Amino acid sequence: MKRIISAKNAPAAAGPYSHAVEAGGILFVSGQVALDPATGKLINGGIREQTEQVLRNIGAILEAAGYSYGDVVKSTVLLSDIEDFKTMNEIYSKFFPTEQPARVAYAVKDLPLGALIEIEVIAVKSK
């Protein structure tokens, strides 16, 4: 059985997808860009600000599903410019200070809405 997650404190989905889906005890969080939950618009700022907003949005979705950052086992980071990798890592490490999830990061040509970064995560409940 699957459970669809919709988080009130995260920006509305920008397309035909759910914030997250839980199936078989695993939470799959859709890719998030740096949308302001209050306005639904991409925030102003560079990679530092956008990375922080993306991870806050992910946190709201995790919380709505009853998970936390500590439950994240895998993340995928998409960057519009690989030169932002170091700065992204600085912010990312604040949200995952210990026992970091497995991760992959790619530079891609374009991201939705002109975003600089998109992150998706997979979480499993810690026992």
Is the pLDDT score of 10 beyond 80?
A: yes
Neighbours of 89 (CB within 10 A): 13
Distance between CA atoms of residues 18 and 90, nearest Å: 28
Q: Residue 115's pLDDT is what?
A: 96
Cα gap 62→82, rounded to integer Å: 27
Cβ pair 83, 125 in contact under 8 A: no
| Domain range annotation of the chain | 2-124
- Stated pTM of the model: 0.95
DSSP reduced 3-state for 36: coil
The pLDDT tens digits for 17-76 are 999 999 999 999 999 999 999 999 999 999 999 999 999 999 999 999 999 999 999 999
- DSSP letter assigned to residue 20: E
pLDDT at 127: 63
In the prediction, which pLDDT does 14 show? 78
Q: For residue 16, count other CB atoms closer than 10 A to its CB.
A: 5
Which of these, 32, 8, 125, 116, lies nearest to 70 by C-alpha position? Answer: 125
The Cα 65–Cα 27 span in angstroms is 8
Top CATH class, 2-124: alpha beta
SS3 sequence, 5-16? ECCCCCCCCCCC
| Max Cα-Cα span within the chain | 41
The whole-number average pLDDT for the span 68-92 is 97
